Amino acid sequence: MATFLLVHGACHGGWCWEKVVPLLEARGHRACAPDLPGLGDDHTPPANVTLADNVERLSRLLDKMEDQVVLVGHSLGGVTISQLAEARRRKLKALVYLCALLPLSGKSGRDMTALDADAMFRLSRQVSPDGLTYTFGRDKIPSLFYADVSPEDRYRAIERLRPQPLAISTTPVTLSDDRFGSVPRWYIECTHDNAIAINLQRQMVKLTPCKVITMECGHSPFYSQPAELADHLEAVARA
């Protein structure tokens, strides 16, 4: 039996793992998919949320877990799980980046997306007038996040998106080889991803090497291919 902590990406909430959690639990594992501050059903004002807030929220959860955890981050969630690994490496069995941003020490999520000048993720972003949160153009969201997702799941997901705290994207991470670098890393690349293109995914893995698993899908495999994703997560836990 393994324990999984599933971390969502920008504008999403723990709800996005709703098809994966039951599959993992049916196989005898534990799976926790919390809302990050300001997102999902959490009512923290998103304009106030920092990367440190994300790390503190998840650190408290990790500290309550008896077993080492497979920590999974989707999309922008990769920034948070990297900084969390620096803070709580002894609690972690493995890090899994699911078509996620994989930042270098001293770099922010925005720095990593800047490696792809044509990234739809950046071009579709709409920053709030106060400069503290952002959303994505509603006309861009279906192809950006849910290109290969059923219409029903796509609609339900879009209705639950919330403004993303900008600070998570703009705060550089601080990572060390003996802390972050000591945790085994896996990267699940998604070859048809329109948000974080496969070329950017592979560029980041070259900069921060990981064991790689390939899925032929778009940006949201937790909806488009939940059973295959659960298989891969279980394989990481067994490794």
**Full strand arrangement of the beta sheet holding 211-215:** 30-32, 3-7, 69-74, 92-98, 185-190, 211-215
Q: Which of 12, 29, 219, 232 is catalytic?
A: 219
Token pair, residue 161, equals 């998106």
Q: Is 219 known to be catalytic?
A: yes
Torsion of CA 65, 68, 69, 71, to 10 degrees: 120
Looking at residue 83, its amino acid is Q
Q: Which of 29, 75, 169, 224 is catalytic?
A: 75
Asked if residue 147 lies in contact with residue 61, where contact means CB atoms within 8 angstroms, the answer is: no
Q: Is 41 known to be catalytic?
A: no
Q: Is 75 known to be catalytic?
A: yes
Asked if residue 91 lies in contact with residue 69, where contact means CB atoms within 8 angstroms, the answer is: yes
Q: Which of 74, 108, 193, 224 is catalytic?
A: 193
Looking at residue 95, its amino acid is L
Angle at CA 234, nearest 5°, toward 232 and 237? 115
Q: 213: which strand partners?
A: 188
Q: 186: which strand partners?
A: 96, 211
Q: Which residues are catalytic?
A: 75, 193, 219
